[in-house]
A and B are shown apart, each in its own frame.
Chain A
Amino acid sequence: MLSRWVTVAYLAYLALPIALLFTGSFGDLWLNTLLPTGFTFRWYQEVAADPSFRRAFSASLSVALATSAACLAIGLPLAYAVYRTPNPKVRAAARVLYQLPVALPPLVLAFGFILVFSSDTLPWLGSIWLLIAGHIVLCLPYFLQTVVADMQRLGLRALEDAAESLGSSGPQRFLHIVVPALRHSMLSGLIVVTALSIGEFQFSNLVSGFLNRTYPVVLLQAFYGATGFACAATVILLLLALVASFSAAYSARGAARTSMAGS
């Protein structure tokens, strides 16, 4: 009985801010009252018309998609290497190493980037590629963790040994066994990566150049203005994160399907 009440209370606690944001984004006027008064689409129209928000929207989307693609391209071979390392000590060390960025505050990474890339030898601060590089460092651990855990759960090594004994070559094993067997974990890993990248603020706020500020960075400005405008902009971020995550997930699944169908 108690556990049910705790669950309900926690869910309400989770949902309430989001519900308030939704309400506020359609409210005409919201001053010193519990709930806003009036109904309007004005705030969404204003956000949509704002050039800095439009730019930030596409910047966030590009950064998130590039980060996802890079995590897939780097993460899968890396996860495979960690999983197949025969020495358990090396494997444990590798795991600590790739989990390190989780413990590292993004702020620290940002300072490091600023120090290195504001120099005359590497004057790349403000470029979108640097932003993507930072997001990869921050997001890759989550992808690796998911995929390595799945490799262990499946016993991928035995599956590959079986395939090899049945006459399957290295590339065939990769396309027929590794990719399709791991498709679910790669999918959920990519969803996490995309959502994290879209919502990332600490690092992006310091490292992104003025012309490729990401959506959360620009969003902060909105809170100095009208409440309804800020709410609408936040709801858009929420939707953006959802859409980007699912599109990443679907494209990954499509890729896995294609590799399964080919023989």
Chain B
Amino acid sequence: MSDTPSVRIANTSFSYPGGKAGIFDLSLDIAPGELVVCIGPSGCGKTTLLKLIAGFLPCASGHVLLDGEDVTGVAVRERQCGIVFQSYALFPHMRVWENVAYPLRVRDVPLAERRRRAEAMLEMVGLSGYGERLPAALSGGQQQRVALARALVFDPRVLLLDEPLSALDAATRLSMRDEIRRIQKQQNIASLLITHDQDEALSLADRIAILREGRLIQVAPPKEMYDKPADAFVAGFIGRANLLDGTVASPDTVDTPIGRIATPGHELPNGAAVRLLVRPEKIVPVTGDPASAPPGENHFAAKVIHDRFFGASREIELAVGEGVVKIDTATREDISCVHIPRDAVQFLPVT
């Protein structure tokens, strides 16, 4: 049974009345204990996907399976999905422990036991001693923890988190990100987290699923998503990217707006249109007098346009030839030239 996915979305479609928005023929599995982060620009259908799994929206076609059971026509309250809402949706008139114990109350668990289980869950999320308070008396991060505890207390089949960190301030967001991961691992529960924040996706996910206009573009572990993006959209959405459109000049060079670049060997015919990706941190800045430096392969004279200093690093935009190149570097010195190592150049499909 261990190879049964906790969540299987099979060829599912849904479209909102009138508009083009929705989900189109989407398939995705979430393995037991796995955290999949679904990311995409607003309106890409990521929240729709969550609502389809939870049952708030009906599938127009396709199926949703939880632990191998087809729940496509099953009501929301029978599906046993733990959901953390963007607004937390804590019940304002119930104390913290009553909020957490609510799923047990509607399952007719005796009072003493539900109180005990709620307290245990509160301890797990780091809120022991807060049970008697009302939600309004808690900070945003604490409310988030209560929402997590409430979503997990009834041993749901899957945990669904809808932009759980978007309402928090920057500092709390970072610590809650780690907390969510810790709790998710400790409970070993299959989870789907919706976000539009690439840092969140890269740092949290076992796998990232990137969505665009209701279609799944790529599903991959974070490192693979970053190193081998499926197309220019993914490359630009996950991490920063230099995208260079050019034409093939020889079996290992391409003409681009910044000049002729030596690339890894390829099989494309001369004159073919190509799109190249170079990650900013892979470009080597050359400091000092450009005249004294020996001209080597893929060295380009550069002029600084924008220089953003972040302490540990600088993000610099440089004019190179007729194009612009972004680099990430730690150097504090003036940059007169950039070097693009040949193996830092990747080919992306032309769209």
Interface residues of A (CB under 8 A from B): 154-155, 158-159, 161-169, 172, 176-177, 180-181, 183, 260, 263
Interface of A is mostly: helix
Q: Are A166 and B103 in contact, with the CB atoms below 8 A?
A: yes
Inter-chain contacts of A183 with B (CB < 8 A):
93
Q: Are B154 and A161 in contact, with the CB atoms below 8 A?
A: no
Inter-chain contacts of A164 with B (CB < 8 A):
76-77
The number of A-B residue pairs with CB atoms under 8 Å apart is: 61
> Given that A159-B91, A161-B56, A181-B91 are contacting pairs, would A176 and B76 also be in contact in the complex, using a CB cutoff of 8 Å?
no
State A236–B89 Cα separation when bound (angstroms): 46
26 A-B pairs with C-beta separation under 8 A:
A158-B87, A159-B89, A161-B56, A161-B76, A161-B89, A162-B83, A162-B85, A162-B89, A162-B91, A163-B102, A165-B76, A165-B77, A165-B81, A165-B82, A165-B83, A166-B77, A166-B103, A166-B150, A167-B106, A168-B77, A169-B106, A176-B91, A180-B93, A181-B91, A183-B93, A263-B105
Q: Are A161 and B106 in contact, with the CB atoms below 8 A?
A: no
Inter-chain contacts of A155 with B (CB < 8 A):
87, 89
B80 contacts the other chain (CB 8 A): yes
- Minimal beta-carbon separation of A195 from chain B (angstroms): 25
The CB with the most chain B CB atoms within 10 A, among A164, A169, A181, is that of: A164
B148 contacts the other chain (CB 8 A): no
- Minimal beta-carbon separation of B260 from chain A (angstroms): 56
- B residues 107-138 with Cβ under 8 Å of A? 107
Q: What is the interface size of chain B, counting residues whose CB is below 8 A from a CB of the partner?
A: 23
Inter-chain contacts of B150 with A (CB < 8 A):
166
Which 6 residue pairs of A and B lie closest in terms of their CB atoms, listed nearest first?
A162-B89, A166-B103, A158-B89, A180-B93, A165-B83, A168-B106
Inter-chain contacts of A181 with B (CB < 8 A):
91-93
- Minimal beta-carbon separation of A151 from chain B (angstroms): 12
B254 contacts the other chain (CB 8 A): no
- Minimal beta-carbon separation of B112 from chain A (angstroms): 13
Inter-chain contacts of B106 with A (CB < 8 A):
163, 166-169, 172, 176
B54 contacts the other chain (CB 8 A): yes
Determine the residue in chain B with the shortest Cβ distance to A179: B93
Determine the residue in chain A with the shortest Cβ distance to B153: A166
- B residues 7-36 with Cβ under 8 Å of A? none
Contact partner of A161 (CB less than 8 A), chosen from B79, B82, B85, B105, is B85
Q: Are A158 and B85 in contact, with the CB atoms below 8 A?
A: yes
State A233–B25 Cα separation when bound (angstroms): 75
The CB with the most chain A CB atoms within 10 A, among B54, B79, B106, B154, is that of: B106
State A260–B93 Cα separation when bound (angstroms): 9
State A183–B94 Cα separation when bound (angstroms): 13
Inter-chain contacts of A165 with B (CB < 8 A):
54, 76-77, 79, 81-83
